[in-house]
Amino acid sequence: MSASTDTVGDFLTSIRNASQANKAVITVQWSRLREGVAKILVDAGYVASARKAEREGLPVLELSLKYVAGVPAITSIERVSTPGRRVYAGYTSVPKVIGGMGVSILTTSRGVMTDAEARRQKNKQLNEPNW
């Protein structure tokens, strides 16, 4: 069995499968990128908690999935940019999630952030005075 080149895709698939199977907790291999995505999901209220732990000497990320009245808080996860098809966008061209009822997670030169955060940071830069 070969290692996957799409670790974020595997991470999102693990979350999707676990929530559809009504699992309470999932454990995935830790990486800074996965930890950043998990933090955004916790802050947005889609995941109950995420913590870094250690299993057999290796760092792992434990996510406690969130359910509302038995229904998963995450109903859909979609990966837009893949290793075989990269999607690049400026902060103005990042589409909003349908009806604003979700969150887009972006990787930027400043780290992992939501689409709203990226717009806010860019606007903040534009509004800073040039002394």
Q: How far, in Å, CA of 98 to CA of 112, rounded?
A: 21
- pLDDT digit string, tens, across residues 10-30: 999 999 999 999 999 999 999
pTM of the model: 0.85
100 DSSP assignment = G
Give how far the C-alpha of residue 37 lies from the chain's centroid of Cα atoms, to the nearest Å.
Answer: 3
Proportion of the chain above pLDDT 90, given as a percent: 50
Using the 8-state DSSP alphabet, how is residue 125 labeled?
H
- Cβ proximity of 29 and 58 under 8 Å: yes
Instruction: Answer whether 52's CB lies under 8 Å from 58's CB.
Output: no
Domain ranges of the chain: 1-79, 88-131
**Alpha helix (H) residue ranges in the chain:** 7-20, 32-44, 115-127
Residue 50 phi, psi dihedral angles, 5° rounding: -145, 135
Residue 8 has pLDDT above 80, yes or no: yes
Fold of domain 1-79: Ribosomal Protein S8; Chain: A, domain 1 (3.30.1370)
> What is the pLDDT, as a whole number, of residue 119?
84
